[in-house]
Each structure stands twice: as C-alpha cells, then as structure tokens.
Structure 1
Amino acid sequence: MYIQFYIGSNCSLCEDAKLQLSFFKEEHDEICIDTINIEEDDNLMEKYMMRVPVVMYKGVVLQEGNIDFVTLSESYEKMK
C-alpha cells in the first residue's frame, strides 16, 4: 500500500510531517511512502503550492498542512 507525500523545498511543516510519517510507518509496516517534491512538476506545483505538506492515500487526502500522527492514523483506518 502506497501513501503519496507531497512536499515543497524549505518547508518547515514538511519537515515536521516527515517525523509524524515516520511514527505512522512504524505502526503500519505495510505502508510504503512515496515522497514527491511538487517543485519538480508544474502541475503539482499549481495544485499543491499552498497546501503542502499533503498526505494522500488511494487518491484521497488524509491530511494536509499540519500533519499529526493521531489524525493521520484515524484517517487511514477509515480508508482501509
């Protein structure tokens, strides 16, 4: 199962989100995290520039902006 993790460069919220995702990954071994820098794709930049970090699963946003382990886990469990 893949989680898409959209980030930007020099993004302090993205750095915080990476830590929360590492906790999340420890609880969910089946998850692979695909980190995507939006600045490498103009379409992604346009879509997510004001929203990063964004965590998506199966095309649905689990959480964006301030990412926290509890909310992320709850959103993921609802999607399973």
Structure 2
Amino acid sequence: MLNLTYYMRDDCALCNEGKLQIRLALSELRNDLVQLTEVNIDEDDELQEEYMVRIPVLSNGDEVIQEGVLDFVKIYDYIREHK
C-alpha cells in the first residue's frame, strides 16, 4: 500500500484541481492500494514555510511525485508502478 501525502491549502484553485486529478487517478485504480492524507499547510508554520510557493505537492514519504500543476497521467502511472 502507498501512503501518499497531499500538501494543500484552502482557497487554492491549483489545490482544488490537483485534488480532482488525484481522485480521477484513484478512481481508475483499486482504492485499497493507496492511503491519501491531505495536509493543510496553513495549520503549520514550518510546512507553510517549506511548501508555500510549491503547493499543491503530492508526495510518497520524502519523494515528491508532483508539485504545482498536477496531472492525472503522472499520478496514475506513479501509483501503478509503485503499488
């Protein structure tokens, strides 16, 4: 099982679009393969400092899968390769 983390913030159009791309990728795969945790960076000063100009960010542990503009194909391919 993959434990992915999605760093985002409220009122962020790119974050909302990224969440949609993640959901689309997961809908094409077995959902039990992935545990997705959403983290609002506005709730943590350190995370805000690290990710403010990079969000949204999708990661698997310390490995960044994609940041900024997320796309379905990259997310889907990553999950398929790492499940």
TM-score with structure 1 setting the length: 0.89
Which runs of 5 or more residues in structure 1 are unaligned? none
Alignment correspondent of 2:13: 12
- What is the RMSD computed on CA atoms of the aligned residues? 1.4
Which runs of 5 or more residues in structure 2 are unaligned? none
Taking the aligned partners of 1:21 and 1:33, their CA distance within structure 2 comes to: 9
Structure with bigger RCO (C-alpha 8 Å, 6+ apart): 2
Alignment correspondent of 1:43: 46
Q: Is 2:26–2:76's contact at 8 Å kept on the other side of the alignment? A: no
Taking the aligned partners of 1:25 and 1:78, their CA distance within structure 2 comes to: 13
Q: Is 2:8–2:38's contact at 8 Å kept on the other side of the alignment? A: yes
Count of residue pairs brought into register by the alignment: 80
TM-score with structure 2 setting the length: 0.86
The percent identity for this pair of structures is: 34
Matches within 5 A, 1:15-30: 15-26=16-27, 27-29=29-31, 30=33
Q: Is 2:18–2:69's contact at 8 Å kept on the other side of the alignment? A: yes
